Amino acid sequence: MSIEIRDLTVRYGRTVAVDSVGLDLAGGKIYGLLGRNGSGKTSLLSAIASYRKPSAGVVLIDGEEAYENPRVARRTCFIRDTLDLSDSDRLRSALDLAARLRPTWDQPYAEKLLDVFQIDPGKRVSALSRGQRSAFGVVLGLAARTPLTILDESYLGMDAVARTLFYRELLADYLEHPRTIILSTHLIEEVADLFERVIIMDRGRVIVHDETDALRGRGVTVTGPYEAVTAFAAGRVILGEQTLGGVRAVTLDGHVDPGEIERGEAAGLSFGPIGIQDLFVHLTSQPLEASR
Amino acid sequence: MFHDRSPIYLQIAEGIKNDVLSGALEEDEQVMSTNQYAAFYRINPATAAKGFAQLVEEGVLYKKRGIGMFVSPDARERLRAERRERFFADVVAPMLDEAKRIGIGVDEIVKHLGEK
């Protein structure tokens, strides 16, 4: 399902969690939503999933206004931290409820996932470890097979093995049943390869929305004699810098073409790549006045 | 498997070209589908598709509608010609630069190569 977000603002009292965001998400892709704690990720996702009424602006899903729209709600699954279950609920009854509510629910697949994550459906929610609780969220989210599936930090507490299983299942099921999936995360490095596009939020705003592959190779580090580095960096966007004695190292945003690198190297500069994780850290750690 | 320094679709294209050059992929042999490739390497299928599209555009692969993608009959020869053209600029020149920086003369390099 495609998502159009127009001038969306979400406010809690005087706090602005989402600040006039506009975003067009074409259907059938896997999106990664990145941002620091408190950047507005969960608020944005809650508005997309109609769990929260926008303070201003609108969310359109396949062209229809999403809020309090049962046609959209049936086809949307939002898995958040609380799982929207109470501690005394048994997992089996949560699964039964999901099966009744979701026309697209795949029970055999749910059973398979419970097996993969070694979760006993006879247990109560309160008996789950943090990682198992997250894994149960993944079961509910993937087996629902809804055309719009939103997973908000669904890896919390999972160990490396469980996370690997999660990513593997997510990709395998998406390949068989393509749909729109939005996954929010802090663990960029280990999951970035699964995202077709990445959205980065900072202080309530969307600062990047691009193909994941385009972010690889965006940004460069330049190291060398102070004067030469300073001359090279002139007129470019500097994301970070360090100086040690007469040596300066800067991290620059944007693309540097091979000819410039060749000339730079001839002038005694050395160039290095920055990963998506580093790019994210640099872009979201700028002082307020620099980012606005 | 993939590194973070350049777009994955370019790394995919480069990997397949290397397989064609080494003969691991024969001419007119079918290559993996984008979904198989995505599942195998755990990457987004759109990224894999972009890598394959690049190879079709460069003439390394060709499509048979409804069947899949295959290695072009002249792909190996053309890739060899391309790489040979770039060999001295891309491989030999940087080596000579480094040799010069650390005081290794051309005669010393030639002697070393003669022993290989």
Joined together, the tokens standing for residue A1 give: 């399902």
Mean of the pLDDT values across residues A225-250? 92
Residue type, A268: G
Residue B2 in this model has a pLDDT that exceeds 90: no
**Cα separations in angstroms, B103 against A202, B93, B107, B109, B112:** 51, 15, 11, 11, 15
Is the distance from CB of A41 to CB of A48 less than 8 angstroms?
A: no
Distance from CA of B114 to the nearest CA of A (A): 31
What is the DSSP pairing of strand A197-202 with strand A148-152? Answer: unpaired
State pLDDT tens for residues B57-106.
999 999 999 899 999 999 999 999 999 989 998 899 889 989 999 999 99
Determine contact: A271 vs chain B, CB below 8 A: no
- With CA atoms as reference, the chain B residue closest to A177 would be B35
Q: Verify that A178 and A106 share a domain, yes or no.
A: yes
Domain count across chain A: 2
Q: Which residues of A88-99 are buried (b: 16+ CB within 10 A; e: fewer)?
A: eeebeebbeebe
Determine contact: A29 vs chain B, CB below 8 A: yes
Is the distance from CB of B8 to CB of B47 less than 8 angstroms?
A: yes
Q: Verify that A92 and A193 share a domain, yes or no.
A: yes
Contact B47 A212 (CB under 8 A): yes
Residue A48, domain member (yes or no): yes
Contact A273 B4 (CB under 8 A): yes
Which of A29, A167, A172 lies closest to B46 in CB terms?
Answer: A29
Note the ipTM here.
0.84
Torsion of CA B43, B44, B45, B49, to 10 degrees: -90
Residue A279, domain member (yes or no): no
Q: Verify that A85 and A163 share a domain, yes or no.
A: yes
Taking the domains of chain B in order of start, what are their residue ranges?
8-75, 76-114
What SS3 class is residue A172?
Answer: helix
Q: What are the two backbone dihedrals, phi and then psi, of residue A63, each rounded to the nearest 5 degrees? A: 85, -10
- With CA atoms as reference, the chain B residue closest to A188 would be B4
Q: Which of A56, A59, A95, A96 lies closest to A76 in space, CA to CA? A: A59
Contact A193 B44 (CB under 8 A): yes
What average pLDDT does chain B have? 92
Using 50, 70 and 90 to split pLDDT, how confident is the model at B6?
Answer: confident
HEC sequence for B50-109 = HHHHHHHHCCCEEEECCCEEEECCCHHHHHHHHHHHHHHHHHHHHHHHHHHHCCCCHHHH
Q: Verify that A19 and A62 share a domain, yes or no.
A: yes
- With CA atoms as reference, the chain A residue closest to B1 would be A193
Q: Class of the B8-75 domain?
A: mainly alpha
Show which residues on chain B lie within 8 Å of chain A, measured between beta carbons: 2, 4-9, 35, 38-39, 41-47, 50
Residue type, A245: G
Q: Verify that A166 and A67 share a domain, yes or no.
A: yes
Using 50, 70 and 90 to split pLDDT, how confident is the model at A288?
Answer: low
Q: What are the two backbone dihedrals, phi and then psi, of residue A55, each rounded to the nearest 5 degrees? A: -70, -30
Contact A175 B45 (CB under 8 A): yes
**First-residue to last-residue Cα distance in chain B:** 31
Determine contact: A11 vs chain B, CB below 8 A: no
Q: Verify that A85 and A35 share a domain, yes or no.
A: yes
Residue A173 in this model has a pLDDT that exceeds 60: yes
Q: Verify that A145 and A29 share a domain, yes or no.
A: yes
Contact B44 A30 (CB under 8 A): yes
Chain B residues within 8 A of A188 when measuring between CB atoms: none
Q: Verify that A152 and A38 share a domain, yes or no.
A: yes
Chain A residues within 8 A of B40 when measuring between CB atoms: none
Is the distance from CB of B4 to CB of A273 less than 8 angstroms?
A: yes
Residue A285, domain member (yes or no): no
Residue A32, domain member (yes or no): yes
CB neighbours of residue B68 within 10 Å: 15
The residue among B42, B43, B44 with the most chain A CBs within 10 A of its CB, best to mutate, is B44
State pLDDT tens for residues B36-52.
999 999 999 999 999 99
Determine contact: A275 vs chain B, CB below 8 A: yes
Residue A292 in this model has a pLDDT that exceeds 70: no
Q: Verify that A234 and A135 share a domain, yes or no.
A: no
State pLDDT tens for residues A24-71.
999 999 999 999 999 999 999 999 999 999 999 999 999 999 999 999
Contact B47 A193 (CB under 8 A): yes
Residue A95, domain member (yes or no): yes
Joined together, the tokens standing for residue B70 give: 């295959």
Joined together, the tokens standing for residue A81 give: 């931290």
Distance from CA of A252 to the nearest CA of B (A): 14
Q: Verify that A87 and A169 share a domain, yes or no.
A: yes
Q: Verify that A123 and A240 share a domain, yes or no.
A: no
Determine contact: A266 vs chain B, CB below 8 A: no
- With CA atoms as reference, the chain A residue closest to B39 would be A172
Q: Verify that A230 and A178 share a domain, yes or no.
A: no
Chain B residues within 8 A of A167 when measuring between CB atoms: 42
* pLDDT for A289: 52
Contact A273 B5 (CB under 8 A): yes
What SS3 class is residue A86?
Answer: coil
Q: Which of A50, A51, A62, A55 lies closest to A3 in space, CA to CA? A: A62
What's the length of chain B?
A: 116
Chain B residues within 8 A of A276 when measuring between CB atoms: 4
Distance from CA of B44 to the nearest CA of A (A): 5
Residue B29 in this model has a pLDDT that exceeds 60: yes
The whole domain housing A197 covers 3-215
**Range 170-189 of A in CB contact (< 8 A) with B:** 171-172, 175, 189
